[in-house]
Amino acid sequence: MTEQERQIPSLISNQAYLIGLFNARLKEIDQRGVKVLRLNCHFIKSHCDDNFFHFVIQNDLTYKVETGVRRRCRIFCVSFSGQARRKMYQVLKLVYEQGFHQGDVIVPRPLWYSDELMAAFYLGVPGENLLEHIKNGYFDLSTIQTIALGLLKLHNIKPTKDIKLKKHAFSPVFLDPTNVVNRAYNKDTNLAHEVLIQFSKLQNLYQTIIKDQAVFSHGDFHPENVIINTFNNRQLVIIDFSEVTLAPVYYDIASFLQQFEFMTRNYLTPEEYSNTEYIFLSTYFNCKKIPQEIQNKINLYKSWTALKSAVYFMIFDDQVNRRFAEGLLTQSEDLYRQIKQ
């Protein structure tokens, strides 16, 4: 890391420094704000080694406004070495300004990007993610319809020339960016061998059947990246634009559905999941029956998502995560067979 990067972990955890920062930029948070009174910082993600750092920090701010009364807000700070979150901030700002600042589906309000901290700051929306909502016993198909319509709207965003987005492909760099499969504890295992075989099959099928136009895509669309507003449960918030890419619409659709099914497997029945998928797809495509050609493409991307998730669980060298990886590999293989029938 550079000298600047080595200083950031101590700066970003220095409360006095952060209070000074928020005081200096308080008007960008609230035009009526005059003084920060209290700051509580909670590290949601904290990683720092000799190669890189990654922090996600929840800053709970209490401040005074011009009338003398107090206000509270929650500001998230996402920092990554190498200015890697600058693009995330640019994308969030773009989406916010292209219609996602109000309505049934919104994104958090972007505040600023700090070169000094290599960090994006945005205003949090109080709420719980869709997965927690379901775990707590709240399952409403109208929410699924709203998510589908929000994703459709997101896919219609046109990136500006100053935001350079990579085009997604079925390639090793997208499947396994940190080379998990070839780590010493994975390299010669049957699981790693079967993952690579499955990857080759999906890659060949992708080259055969995917000819669709690439659109603006979230890149990591799943239930934990959809927040239900505490004060308006009809309003949803899409978060985490760190993996935005250009891809066919099936990528985000399949990512959401495959991970929804996996994450809620202990909380929803198979019938409830089937209804969810039907409502989501029929809403997004505005039709009651999905053509088989489209379903095959969705299943291909679901198979890809399952395989990528299997690789993720291979990071951990324990039996529980191995079983998750094996189960996801099996799901990927089953989806592939459905397409080939």
Residues 47 and 7 in one domain: yes
Residues 186 and 59 in one domain: no
Residue 1: predicted pLDDT: 83
Residues 272 and 181 in one domain: yes
Beta bridge partners of 46: 55
Residues 231 and 326 in one domain: yes
**Given 107, 124, 141, which residue is the final one in a domain?**
124
Supply the CATH number for residue 204's domain: 3.90.1200.10
Residue 51: predicted pLDDT: 86
Residue 50: predicted pLDDT: 87
User: Given CA atoms 15, 18, 24, 28 in this order, what sign does their dihedral have?
Assistant: negative
How many structural domains comprise the chain? 2
**Given 90, 124, 158, which residue is the final one in a domain?**
124
Residues 135 and 184 in one domain: yes
Residue 340: predicted pLDDT: 86
Residues 157 and 264 in one domain: yes
**Given 92, 124, 156, which residue is the final one in a domain?**
124
Residues 86 and 119 in one domain: yes
Distance between CA atoms of residues 121 and 58, nearest Å: 10
Residues 108 and 137 in one domain: no
Residues 13 and 113 in one domain: yes
Residues 147 and 200 in one domain: yes
Residue 236: predicted pLDDT: 97
Domain that holds residue 91: 3-124
Give the residues of the chain that fall short of pLDDT 70: none
Residue 341: predicted pLDDT: 82
Residues 183 and 314 in one domain: yes
Residues 106 and 137 in one domain: no
